[in-house]
Amino acid sequence: MSVSIQSFEHGASEAEAIARRLGISYDSIRVHRFPDGESLVTVAPPAPVTILYCSLDWPNARLVELMLAVEALRRNGARRLVLVAPYLCYMRQDKAFHPGEAISQHAMGRWLGGMFDRIVTVDAHLHRVSDLSAVFPGIEAENLSAAESIAAFVKEKNLPPSTLVAGPDSESGQWVSMIARTLGCEAVTGRKRRLGDRKVEIEFPGGPLDGRTVLFADDIVSSGGTMTAAIRALKQAGAGDIYVAITHALFDNEAEVAMHAAGARAIWSTTSVPHPTSAITLDALFAGALRRETARQGD
């Protein structure tokens, strides 16, 4: 079956880069927004296997347009639909912490799982669920890791061998240890306490850092509270230059200014979410995972 990729305007350059790597055609999806807030979505003619590239930052608006695109793609002949959502929204709320709370991860599992045959993402924020297949039972689901792409990018920066790779909490251990292994550096994770949406306290074990360079890594920066608290704690412990590498940059300019003011020398994020800090491309990672779609082309 032939394969093509489509995206909305917000993912065009990343989707085109994947299309070039796979040697498949790329088409853009057009959106007209009516004065009352509704959207008219127009897709291109789909291939039997159509990959839809749509990062789901700003999810409340994007999810509805994604749903409309799927309606049009299916009705116009797409037999297999693959969603590439580099940032997969609403994964953090995986249980009801207080009575009456919605479990957004379950809702996404049912909604997106009902629209697509396969979902591919990177560094999905999974806490109590270890496998993305548990979020999307009944369809193919893969959670890729950006750690190797981040490590390869940072390696080119020639940070000193004594660099400490740090993460805010035990959950960041998976990225931190992988990046540290590739760079041949030591790794440490902190103890984090969240006091509110933007207020976080972090402590790092170990003694004074005596001017050591630190590479701080995490999956998501949203309000920037975690990152800013971590940078302050590391600076207080005597860190020298602090560099930041993250997968999903969801933060605004104010948070970026705060992170630099706290002492971040440079902030590098992946292209998962188009952002002023985007520096680490993921098209090779996604193309690698999607190659089996094109390998089926003779089917």
**Which sequence positions are flagged as catalytic?**
192
Helix segments in 131-252, DSSP class H: 132-135, 147-155, 173-183, 225-236
Whichever of 22 and 150 has its CB closer to ligand R5P, that residue is 150
**Local structure of 267: helix, strand or coil:** strand
Whichever of 226 and 270 has its CB closer to ligand R5P, that residue is 226
Q: Which residue has the tokens 């940059």?
A: 249
Whichever of 46 and 224 has its CB closer to ligand R5P, that residue is 224
Residue 69: phi and psi, rounded to 5, are -60, -40
CB 228 to ligand R5P: min, Å: 8
Q: Are strands 200-203 and 191-194 parallel, antiparallel or unpaired?
A: antiparallel
Residues 252, 254, 259: CA angle, nearest 5 degrees? 95
In angstroms, the CA 112 to CA 171 distance is 25
If one counts every other C-beta atom within 10 angstroms of the C-beta of residue 153, the result is: 17
For 279, the token pair is 């520096």
- List of residues contacting ligand R5P (CB under 6 A): 168, 171-172, 200, 218-227
Whichever of 118 and 125 has its CB closer to ligand R5P, that residue is 125
Q: Which residue has the tokens 């009352």?
A: 36
CB 100 to ligand R5P: min, Å: 23
Whichever of 3 and 231 has its CB closer to ligand R5P, that residue is 231
In angstroms, the CA 173 to CA 17 distance is 30
